[in-house]
């Protein structure tokens, strides 16, 4: 397997709006990030993935871009950004920018031109169609509810928007659009950035003719994912992007690719011929999620399901492509609330999850706040939510489908994207030390207990545990490059696996439960000594790997000799 810096790196994701506010307007900003770089340095991460900071009317918090080559007013200026990059590089931290080119904002100059007339030179930059029988051109549903088409009076046609109506889809069939985007990407790369995270990048190519999606529910609009996910020209577009831009730089590229299979990933992120370095897959996130517009209950997650998915990805990509490993981001509930237990065993389970993502094969992505075990929030009123997807979901459920508001809120408490978007809890002072003003979204009331300052002061904190994991990764190539093999396949409480590189072998033991099951290392794994590299309890009932009782959410990693 080829060695590469981006395989060895740990990535930290920053959602700037909620990271740190330096000027008291209640919104996180670039100077706020600069002030906290020493904190990230101390944690030991190598790369920051910065969610969009470009000019934007913020219908979807920056994922609706009105100018790709300038900075959003609330976040600062291009000069601030230049300083951020320089300060990061000074500390040996690399910067990966978000690239959102499936769609722009409807306030982008291209779209403002495009909607003016059918013969405007920018008309074909977007996907316009006449209506069909007095209705939308097809039955596609937007990811954020309602039709994926918006009627525009000016020219009497509809434009496509897979997300909100303020996020019109760019027309990748048009070579001029592609050229503009490549030019813009090159402009950022010339400034010295270290890569791109590419938003919904497997949705760029739509099936010609834009046919109706199969009708699977009683809703008026249907998810047409097979008509625009991994579409017919996707690889052609990405190959062109690689030839014209990416291949000229030694960068990290990661595609956000909903509904990809391991086969797709092996093609897109192939070790030899790939167009991107890695992709984000969602299978493990969807195990517990009731996503989309349906308001239902949150499904319980079975450990065997998680093992199946992760093992399929670990083995499916082995020596052929590279995994990205994550349990949370700005679109997901907090990882400790979804995969761990955020009340009684918050600290133990957060450390267990940290062990999990750092010990799998692939590049770990740490979402801001997970390093101190931040949890989901449960606002009592819908008024306190800000996320457009959450607000649309609530409106559709309560106003259109007659769902009981309390029932809708219950689902929102479990699944809303705002769970991960509350401000970072820096200390126990007012507004969690995030801002001197009024935060754009309320802070999680648990900030007095859970905050960075407390975590830094406590040598046993989740933060210090992350730091140790990151350090171990730097010291032990087996953690990066070792082969993954599942053991105890069908155990419903313990997830255990080995990592092997040449003569080095680790065994990773994770008790994903609040019970105290016995762990037995299978007889076919021989060893003469076992050294504990890291664990989330200080005292172990026994370290006899041929039969040892695990404590609730206990995680241990041993080096076998
Ligand atoms: C995925 C992003 O992560 C999410 O936050 C955004 O709403 C959609 N793509 C649309 O850009």
The pLDDT score that the predictor gives to residue 543 is: 81
Contacts of 134 (CB under 8 A, 6+ apart): none
Any atom of ligand 1 within 6 Å of the Cβ of 100: yes
| pLDDT at residue 194, as a whole number | 99
Query: Closest Cα partner for 47 from 13, 81, 15?
Result: 13
Per-residue pLDDT of the chain (561 residues; tens, 9 = 90+): 899 999 999 999 999 999 999 999 999 999 999 999 999 999 999 999 999 999 999 999 999 999 999 999 999 999 999 999 999 999 999 999 999 999 999 999 999 999 999 999 999 999 999 999 999 999 999 999 999 999 999 999 999 999 999 999 999 999 999 999 999 999 999 999 999 999 999 999 999 999 999 999 999 999 999 999 999 999 999 999 999 999 999 999 999 999 999 999 999 999 999 999 999 999 999 886 543 333 444 545 689 999 999 999 999 999 999 999 999 999 999 999 999 999 999 999 999 999 999 999 999 999 999 999 999 999 999 999 999 999 999 999 999 999 999 999 999 999 999 999 999 999 999 999 999 999 999 999 999 999 999 999 999 999 999 999 999 999 999 999 999 999 999 999 999 999 999 999 999 999 999 999 999 999 999 999 999 999 999 876 678 999 999 999 999 999 999
Q: What's the 209 CA to ligand 1 centre distance in angstroms?
A: 25
Q: Is the CB of 169 under 6 A from ligand 1?
A: no
**Cβ contact 506:499 at 8 Å:** yes
Provide the 8-state DSSP code for 321.
B
Tokens of 239: 């190959």
- Closest-lying ligand 1 atom to the alpha carbon of residue 64: 11
CA of 308 to the centre of ligand 1 (A): 27
**CA gap 388, 164 in Å, rounded:** 8
What confidence score (pLDDT) does residue 291 get?
Answer: 38
128 Cα to the center of ligand 1, angstroms: 22
Tell me how far the alpha carbon of residue 61 lies from the centroid of ligand 1, in angstroms.
9
DSSP of 460-471:
TSHHHHHHHHHH
* Distance from the alpha carbon of residue 525 to the mean position of ligand 1, in angstroms: 44
- CA-to-CA separations, 258 to 261, 393, 449, in angstroms, rounded: 9, 20, 35
Structure tokens belonging to residue 356: 């999990």
Output phi, psi for 244, to 5 deg: -80, -25
Q: What is the Cα–Cα distance from 97 to 82, expressed in whole angstroms?
A: 13
Mutate to test the pocket of ligand 1, among 15, 100, 390 (most ligand atoms within 8 A of CB): 100
Q: How many CA atoms lie within 13 A of 79 on its CB side?
A: 0
256 included as an active-site residue: yes
The single residue of 74, 194, 256, 264 carrying the catalytic annotation is: 256
196 lines ligand 1 (CB under 6 A): no
The first and second tokens of residue 400, run together, are: 């259109």
Radius of gyration of the chain (CA): 24
Residue 35 dihedral angles phi and psi, to the nearest 5° = -65, -20
**Residue 203 near ligand 1, beta carbon < 6 Å:** no
Residue 144 alpha carbon to ligand 1 centre in Å: 10
| Ligand 1 pocket check for 111: Cβ under 6 Å | no
8-state DSSP, 2: -
- Decide: 387 in ligand 1 pocket, CB within 6 A: no
**Neighbouring residues of 558: CB distance < 8 A, sequence distance ≥ 6:** 506, 507, 509, 530, 531, 532, 533, 545
Distance of CA 155 from the midpoint of ligand 1 (Å): 28
The Cα–Cα gap between 334 and 422 comes to: 10
Q: Is 421 exposed, middle or buried (0-12, 13-18, 19+ CB in 10 A)?
A: buried
Please tell me whether the overall predicted TM-score, pTM, comes out greater than 0.85 for this model: yes
Please tell me if the CB atom of residue 143 comes closer than 6 angstroms to any atom of ligand 1: no
Give the atom of ligand 1 at the shortest distance from the alpha carbon of 163: 10
CA–CA dist 49, 328 (Å, integer): 13
Q: Which of 50, 10, 12, 13 shows the shortest CA–CA distance to 29?
A: 50
Give yes or no for residue 60 CB within 6 A of ligand 1. yes
286 is catalytic: no
Ligand 1 and 98: CB distance under 6 A: no
List CB contacts of 380: < 8 A, sequence separation 6 or more: 409
Contacts of 546 (CB under 8 A, 6+ apart): 520, 521
Q: What is the DSSP letter of 542?
A: -
Measure the CA angle with vertex 47, ends 41 and 48; round to 5°: 90
Q: Whose CA is nearest to atom 11 of ligand 1?
A: 63
Residue nearest ligand 1's atom 8 by CA: 63
**481 alpha carbon – ligand 1 mean position (Å):** 31
Count how many residues are written for the chain.
561
Q: Is the CB of 63 under 6 A from ligand 1?
A: yes
Residue 287's pLDDT is what? 86
Cβ atoms within 10 A of the Cβ of 216, count? Answer: 8
Phi/psi of residue 8, nearest 5 degrees? -85, -15
Q: Ligand 1: does its nearest atom lie under 6 Å from the Cβ of 163?
A: yes
Helix residue ranges, H only, 269-395: 303-317, 335-338, 346-359, 388-394
Give me ligand 1 centre to Cα 143, in Å: 10
- Is 111:105 a contact under the CB 8 Å cutoff? yes
Q: Cβ(138)–Cβ(206) under 8 Å?
A: no
N- to C-terminal Cα distance for the chain? 23
Catalytic-role residue among 199, 264, 396, 554: 199
Ligand 1 contacts CB of residue 331 (under 6 A): yes
For the CA of 60, the nearest atom of ligand 1? 7
Q: Which atom of ligand 1 is nearest to the CA of 102?
A: 11
Nearest CA owner, ligand 1 atom 4: 331
């Amino acid at each position: 397997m080829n060695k590469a810096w981006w395989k060895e790196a740990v990535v930290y994701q920053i959602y700037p709006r909620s990271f740190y506010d330096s000027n008291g307007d209640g919104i996180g900003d670039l100077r706020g990030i600069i002030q906290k770089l020493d904190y990230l340095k101390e944690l030991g991460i190598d790369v920051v993935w910065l969610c969009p900071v470009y000019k934007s009317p913020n219908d979807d918090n920056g994922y609706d871009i009105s100018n790709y080559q300038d900075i959003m007013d609330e976040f600062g200026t291009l000069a601030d950004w230049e300083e951020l990059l320089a300060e990061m590089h000074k500390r040996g931290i690399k910067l990966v920018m978000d690239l959102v080119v499936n769609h722009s904002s409807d306030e982008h100059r291209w779209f403002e031109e495009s909607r003016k007339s059918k013969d405007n030179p920018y008309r074909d930059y977007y996907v316009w169609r006449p209506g069909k029988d007095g209705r939308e051109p097809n039955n596609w549903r937007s990811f954020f509810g309602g039709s994926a088409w918006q009627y525009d009076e000016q020219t009497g046609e509809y434009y496509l928007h897979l997300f909100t109506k303020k996020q019109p889809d760019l027309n990748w069939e048009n070579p001029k659009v592609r050229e503009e985007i490549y030019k813009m990407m090159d402009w950022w790369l010339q400034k010295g950035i270290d890569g791109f995270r590419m938003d919904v990048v497997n949705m760029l190519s739509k099936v010609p003719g834009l046919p109706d999606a199969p009708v699977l529910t009683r809703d008026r609009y249907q998810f047409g994912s097979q008509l625009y996910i991994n579409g017919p020209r996707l690889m052609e577009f990405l190959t062109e992007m690689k030839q014209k831009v990416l291949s000229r730089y030694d960068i990290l590229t990661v595609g956000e690719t909903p509904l990809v299979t391991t086969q797709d990933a092996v093609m897109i992120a192939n070790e030899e011929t790939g167009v991107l370095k890695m992709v984000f897959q969602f299978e493990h996130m969807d195990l517990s999620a009731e996503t989309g517009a349906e308001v239902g209950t949150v499904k319980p997650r079975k450990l065997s399901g998680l093992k199946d998915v992760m093992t399929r990805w670990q083995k499916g990509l082995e020596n052929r492509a590279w995994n990205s490993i994550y349990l949370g981001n700005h679109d997901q509930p907090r990882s400790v609330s979804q995969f761990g237990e955020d009340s009684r065993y918050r600290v133990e389970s957060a450390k267990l999850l940290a062990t999990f993502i750092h010990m799998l094969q692939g590049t770990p992505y740490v979402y801001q706040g997970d390093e101190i075990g931040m949890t989901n929030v449960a606002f009592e009123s819908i008024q306190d939510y800000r996320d457009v997807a959450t607000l649309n979901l609530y409106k559709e459920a309560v106003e259109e489908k007659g769902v009981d508001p309390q029932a809708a809120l219950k689902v929102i408490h479990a699944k809303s994207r705002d769970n991960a978007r509350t401000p970072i809890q820096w200390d126990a002072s007012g507004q969690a030390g995030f801002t001197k003003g009024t935060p754009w979204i309320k802070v999680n009331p648990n900030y007095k207990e859970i905050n960075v300052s407390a975590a830094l002061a406590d040598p046993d904190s989740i933060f210090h545990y992350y730091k140790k994991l990151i350090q171990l990764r730097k010291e032990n190539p087996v953690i990066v490059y070792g082969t993954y093999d599942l053991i105890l396949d069908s155990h419903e409480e313990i997830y255990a696996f080995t990592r092997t590189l040449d003569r080095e072998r680790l065994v990773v033991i994770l008790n994903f439960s609040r019970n105290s099951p016995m762990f037995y290392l299978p007889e076919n794994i021989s060893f003469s000594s076992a050294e504990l590299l890291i664990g989330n309890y200080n005292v172990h009932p026994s370290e006899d790997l041929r039969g040892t009782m695990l404590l609730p959410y206990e995680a241990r990693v041993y080096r076998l000799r």
